[in-house]
Structure 1
Amino acid sequence: MCCDPKEVVKEVTLCLYRASPTVNQSCQCGAIQSTPYCYNIFEAHGDTGDFVDRGFYSLETLTYLLVLKAKWPDRITLLRGNHESRQITQVYGFYDECQTKYGNANAWRYCTKVFDMLTVAALMDEQILCVHGGLSPDIKTLDQIRTIERNQEIPHKGAFCDLVWSDPEDVDTWAISPRGAGWLFGAKVTNEFAHINNLKLICRAHQLVHEGYKFMFDEKLVTVWSAPNYCYRCGNIASIMVFKDANTREPKLFRAVPDSERVIPPRTTTPYFL
């Protein structure tokens, strides 16, 4: 699936993909990080990034999403999250998982090439902006997102970085993020951006929400989290957001697969002298 990533995940040459108007309904999924039981979530829907790390099945999860994208290229949109990065995946588990399963880093290298081709944002029905993280002080209009060069490693700062790292918070405008990347942004910033770009909603992921989803700023922004029982211990509910049109949305909640049905690979210990 990764040998020709441009043909699998390429939407357009720009960072902002304009999704087709909703027909019957469309669905927005949040971060699913290494959740192999995501098969029941996807029925020709989209996802807002963070497919790998912090789990046992990142590679299988990513492969499954790419298969869906290959089968329904016009109905599945995969957005890049902050974990679709060479640097982050070497820290949070995906690199080690590929090494363990294949004995080398080739699979990881192929996957990171796919990451570089993922779209950073999507616009649904011209009025719903989907992005992994949030807003950027360097971006005032959607056209500025379109000009970002996406085929690269996520930078440490700047507009590209902010789109996948920023978080909404109860601040006046902008504040330094404790993550060390991106920004904290408030209601005033969100309302101004929505007004300038004629948006009804900004749909993002990036932060664990124990209830599955959370509206903020007079429902101008929603965080959608689609990984139940995150890291196998948080006990959170997950959600997807179903849109019939730009004005009609409905959250769908679901819980994790019971522990009795969950398959966790056995730990392997590398011989000391190897």
Structure 2
Amino acid sequence: MGQANSKKLSRTPSRSVEEVEEEFQHPRNSVPSINNFSPFAAPTDDDQDPIDFHDASPIGAQPFLEPILSRTGDNEGRRGSLASSLGGFSQFQSEALETGVSTGGINIDDCISRLLEAGSTAKTPKALDIEAWEIDSICALSREIFLSQPTLIEISAPVKIVGDVHGQYTDLLRLFEMCGYPPNANYLFLGDYVDRGRQSLETILLLLCYKIKYPENFFLLRGNHECANVTRVYGFFDECKRRASVKTWKTFVSVFNCLPVAAVVANKIFCVHGGLSPSLHDMDDIRQIERPSDVPDYGLLNDLLWSDPSDTTAEWEDNERGVSYCFGKQIISEFLQKYEFDLVCRAHMVVEDGYEFFNGRTLVTVFSAPNYCGEFDNYGAVMSVNEELLCSFELLKPQDLSAPQRRKRNSPPLTNEI
């Protein structure tokens, strides 16, 4: 692939939990913004698709109980039985998860029920209906699972791929209503679970509970907001302090530092939160990223979470966010050819229709938080990939927008818009 510009980029430095706590105790006058929105762009309408994109009725939800974590490559020997996939979990603990019996004193099914109940009310509950000790247990169990599975996850289809959620909990539940609650569908989330929205705690807790209950069918990648310094600025720290404690925030940060960072679906679709990196020379580079780890100021992990596609360059250029790079069409084409992939699927940018193609449909951005921050009238989207790699998009309509108010969309119409 092309070489990155040697000019040193202006970057916002990462900070540890301890440094963030120090700032909380001795706050600065101002905090620089590191998260700019990219403007909406018109969706492309290319004719040639390396993967079959289908704009008719979305795939129906079917129970996919067979584990989809691949046996190939770095995953060899990791799949096995449910018990072996959980590393240090005992057979009793694994059976307990399947039956809903309490595991280590916590009943995951009961936690899921309470979290779902919290989404049934119109108002955001002031108090969190999950005890502090339960949060600690959920985080400890999920950390163990994340570290028992690879940094680069290889999974098979069918799977539903979800972009940014950003604490919009009621929209997350609407998404599950549309696509099927686990285990009625396999899921791969691309990161950015917290910040911005009002219920980041319920959002991340429900996702972690599903990861614990269905570890080989429910996957969570790391986004750029899953780190200490970003959550300190954009809402999750404040929500934890207000509704739980600073200690709870630290506990979640320790989970974020263990999340996998990329996935490959059916050997053909490369999935990541942000994008590509000039430091990526081999897939083993991703596999060898050490965890737990904070997000560094620069390098491979930083780029995978922060980079963006750009049509103003063929190769690499500085990113307007002030972090990482932008990569052009030539970089995408060379990447796909080198690794024999057909598609890059990423999130990280709000797009008007919930999904947006780039570079002849060789890259797609998926964004799953409708009416983002209450300021954009964007749709949320989920990309469904079936066994034949037929891809379709299921859309969540902004709740406070009726159909007549919505302007005519430029992209092909879909039949299951909610």
TM over 0.5: yes
Tell me by how many angstroms 1:143 deviates. 1.9
344, 354, 367: which one aligns with 1:212: 354
Distance 1:147 1:8 in 2: 17
| C-alpha distance in 2 between matches for 1:39 and 1:8 | 24
Larger Rg: 2
**CA deviations over 1:52-109 (Å, ceiling 9, x no partner):** 001110111000101111111111110000000000000001000000002x301101
1:18 aligned residue (126, 149, 154)? 154
Q: Which of 357, 370, 376 matches 1:234?
A: 376
| Partners of 1:62 and 1:136 in 2: CA distance | 27
Is the contact between residue 142 and residue 208 of structure 2 (CA under 8 Å) also seen in structure 1? no
Shift of 1:11: 4.8
CA contact (8 A) 1:125 1:246 kept: no
- Residue in 2 aligned with 1:262? none
Give the aligned partner of residue 34 of structure 1: 167
What is the deviation of 1:192? 0.4
Please show how residues 168-187 of structure 1 align to structure 2 within 5 Å: 168-170=309-311, 171-187=313-329
Question: Aligned-pair RMSD on alpha carbons?
Answer: 1.4
Secondary structure, counterpart of 1:41 in structure 2: helix
Structure 1 residue aligned with 2:144:
7
Q: Is the 8 A contact 2:273 2:347 kept in 1?
A: yes
TM-score, reference length from structure 1:
0.89
Q: Matches of 1:129 and 1:11 in 2, distance apart?
A: 21
128-137 or 42-51: bigger deviation: 42-51
Correspondence for 1:146? 287
Amino acid paired to 2:314: D
Contact 1:50 1:83 in 2 (8 A): yes
**Contact 2:142/2:212, CA 8 A, preserved across alignment:** no
Structure 1 portions without partners, runs of 5+ = 260-274
After TM superposition, give the deviation of residue 146 of structure 1 in Å: 1.1
**8 A Cα contact 1:8 1:66, kept in partner:** no
Q: Separation in 2 of the partners of 1:173 and 1:246?
A: 32
**Which has the larger displacement, 212-221 or 238-247?**
238-247
Per-residue CA deviation, residues 15-56 of structure 1 (Å, 9 max, x unaligned), is 21111x21xx31100011101121242433110000000111
**Is the contact between residue 275 and residue 346 of structure 2 (CA under 8 Å) also seen in structure 1?**
yes
Q: Deviations over 1:191-233 (max 9, x none)?
A: 1011111101110000000111001111111000000010012
Secondary structure, counterpart of 1:253 in structure 2: strand
Q: Provide the aligned length of Structure 1 versus Structure 2.
A: 254
Superposed, 1:16-95 pairs within 5 Å as 16-19=152-155, 21-22=156-157, 25-37=158-170, 38-42=172-176, 43=181, 44-95=186-237
When residues 233 and 133 of structure 1 are mapped into structure 2, their CA distance, relative to the original with a 3 A threshold, is same
Report the Cα offset of residue 246 of structure 1: 6.0
Unaligned runs of at least 5 residues, structure 2: 1-137, 402-418
Q: Any conservation in 2 of the 1:226–1:239 contact (CA below 8 Å)?
A: yes
State how far apart, in whole Å, the 2-side matches of 1:188 and 1:258 are. Answer: 40
- The DSSP-based 3-state class of the residue aligned with 1:129 is strand
Residue 156 of structure 1 corresponds to which residue in structure 2?
297
Mean alpha-carbon deviation: is it higher for 40-49 or for 218-227?
Answer: 40-49
More relative contact order, 1 or 2 (CA 8 Å, 6+ apart): 2
Paired residue type of 1:92: Y
What's the CA shift for 1:8? Answer: 4.2
Q: Give the percent of matched residue pairs that are identical in Structure 1 and Structure 2.
A: 37
TM-score (norm 2): 0.59
Q: Establish whether residue 256 from structure 1 lines up as the match of residue 392 from structure 2.
A: no
Corresponding residue of 2:78? none
In the alignment, which residue of structure 2 is the partner of 1:96? 238
